[in-house]
Amino acid sequence: MASHVRDGWRAPRRALPPLPPRRACPSGCGFACTWHPDACCEACRLGYAHGSRCDRLAAPPPARAAAARRLLRQMLDPEGWERAIEAALRRARAPEPAGERLDLARGHAGVRRVHGSPPLFEVDGFLCRAECEAMMGYAASRLTCFRWYHTMYCLLFRLYHTMYCLLALRCFLPPRALIPSASSVPHAFVMRHSFHSLHAARSNTGGKISDIRTSCTCYVDRHHQLSQTIFHRVAQLTGCAADRQEDVQVARYEAGQYYRGHFDGADPHDHDAEAFFLSGGQRICTVLIYLNDVAEGGATRFPLIGVDVRPRQGRALVFFPGFLDGKLDKQVYHEALAAVSEKWVSQIWIRQVADPCRNVPKAWVDALAPAEHRAHAGGAS
């Protein structure tokens, strides 16, 4: 069998993004807070026992020992339990304090506030007509329909992985050969893109691959002039440089296509959110740019705050799916209503920290089939 391992080739080591500063969880559980300002996990916030996922954030042993002693004292003192339960109920009933959101650049031309809290902004003329048309022209031949894209990649992933395992077993390859991204360029490519695809399909859908989104979409090459222009404008508006911005997406909705209600970010309490957070943390700002005038249908609806935004060519809609501390703002749950006339939109998301996935050396990215990478690599939805 031809060797998959290139002489001397090694997958580059990718550093994980720095986690936000750790500090002891105020509940005194002995674990550390990272994404949460007020507790290390939901269980802890509500005063229940720790789940297994808290282990990864475990604080140094002395703190844990202190927490264990406290728990033991509490268990031996029935009144202590009652007090703890009451305190937990009080905390559970108290409204979640609103965290801080990203600030838009003061005095940026054309910014109009369309909702107070949670804040929603519109910026008319964010892109000019020619830029919108160029975006639609770029995307027209690259669109992939979400449902087919995910189905194809899920199938490809299962098929490829089964074949690879069978081959590896048959040829007695060393176990290292089965480790994704460390063994071979094609293997790394398939594993990486299948992962992206599964992750994208599962995000916003509670882990299930569903048809919440029926539009067609594509990513714009980060090095393309169109991406560069958009990164620059978004940076002027938000103060966040391109390395915090996900790859620019373009979506087309034809009559009847929609994107059902979702949060753009991930809930840090959700077990499935970990992979998402490791690639740059929470999405703290969404910039949606409408690329065409839409005669009927296709508004962006925020049902919990009663706002509908009508698409208009060149208009940007800005909102904040997550707080600066990484919590999800559930108030900005939103959907794209079914299109009647064709609708084009471009989406840019800003993350808490720069995404290391995009900082892989360009030579390595090129080795991984550049055309496909350009079309599919990127964020979570």
Ligand X SMILES: O=C(O)CCC(=O)C(=O)O
Residues that bind ligand X (CB under 6 A): 259, 264, 288, 300, 334, 336, 345, 347, 381
DSSP-assigned letter for residue 94? S
Is the Cβ of residue 41 or residue 212 nearer to ligand X in the bound state? 212
Spatial distance between the Cα atoms of 272 and 119, rounded to a whole number of angstroms: 27
How far, CA to CA in Å, does 361 sit from each of 6, 124, 183, 275? Answer: 17, 37, 18, 21
Nearest residue relative to Fe ion (C-beta): 264
Nearer to ligand X (CB atom), residue 122 or residue 264: 264
Pick between residue 153 and residue 253 the one whose CB is nearest to ligand X: 253
- Say if CB 114 and CB 307 are below 8 A apart: yes
Rounded distance, CA 187 to CA 178, Å? 9
CB of 275 to ligand X, least distance (A): 18
**Partner in contact with 217, chosen from ligand X, Fe ion, none, beta carbon below 5 to 8 Å by kind:** none
Q: How far is the CB of 300 from ligand X (least distance, A)?
A: 3
Angle formed by the axes of helices 61-76 and 78-93, nearest 10°: 110
Kindly give, in sequence order, each residue whose CB lies less than 8 Å from that of residue 309, ignoring residues fewer than 6 positions away. Answer: 114, 120, 122, 299, 300, 301, 302, 317
**Closest distance of CB 240 from ligand X, Å:** 18
| Shortest separation between residue 262's beta carbon and Fe ion, angstroms | 6
Smallest distance from the beta carbon of 380 to ligand X, in angstroms? 10
Q: Which does 257 bind (CB under 5 to 8 A by kind): ligand X, Fe ion, none?
A: none
CA distance 64 to 62: 5
Looking at beta carbons only, is 54 or 291 nearer to ligand X?
A: 291
Nearer to ligand X, 183 or 227 (CB): 227
Measured from the CB of residue 200, what is the shortest distance to ligand X in angstroms?
Answer: 11
By a kind-dependent CB cut-off of 5 to 8 A, residue 190 interacts, out of Fe ion, ligand X, none, with none
CB of 115 to Fe ion, least distance (A): 16
**Residue 280 tokens, joined:** 């740059």
- Decide whether 269 or 301 has the Cβ nearer to ligand X: 301
The option from ligand X, Fe ion, none interacting with 197 (CB < 5 to 8 A, set by class) reads none
Which does residue 345 bind out of Fe ion, ligand X, none, counting CB within 5 to 8 angstroms by kind? ligand X
300 binds, among Fe ion, ligand X, none (CB under 5 to 8 A by kind): ligand X
User: Measured from the CB atom, is 31 or 219 closer to ligand X?
Assistant: 219
Q: Which of 23, 60, 25 is nearest to 39 (CA)?
A: 25
- Cβ distance to ligand X smaller for residue 18 or 206: 206
CA atoms in the 13 A half-sphere facing the CB of 333: 12
Measured distance CA(166)–CA(120) in Å, rounded: 52
Indicate the residue among 38 and 342 with the shorter CB distance to ligand X.
342
327-341: buried (b, 16+ CB within 10 Å) or exposed (e) per residue? bbbebbbbbbbbbee
Shortest reach from residue 147's CB to ligand X, in Å: 15
CB contact at 8 A, 105 and 237 = yes
Min dist CB 356 to Fe ion, Å, is 24
* Positions in the binding site for Fe ion (CB under 5 A): 264
Beta strands in 271-379 (DSSP E): 283-290, 300-302, 307-309, 316-319, 334-336, 343-351
User: What does the angle CA 289 – CA 292 – CA 296 come to, to the nearest 5 degrees?
Assistant: 110
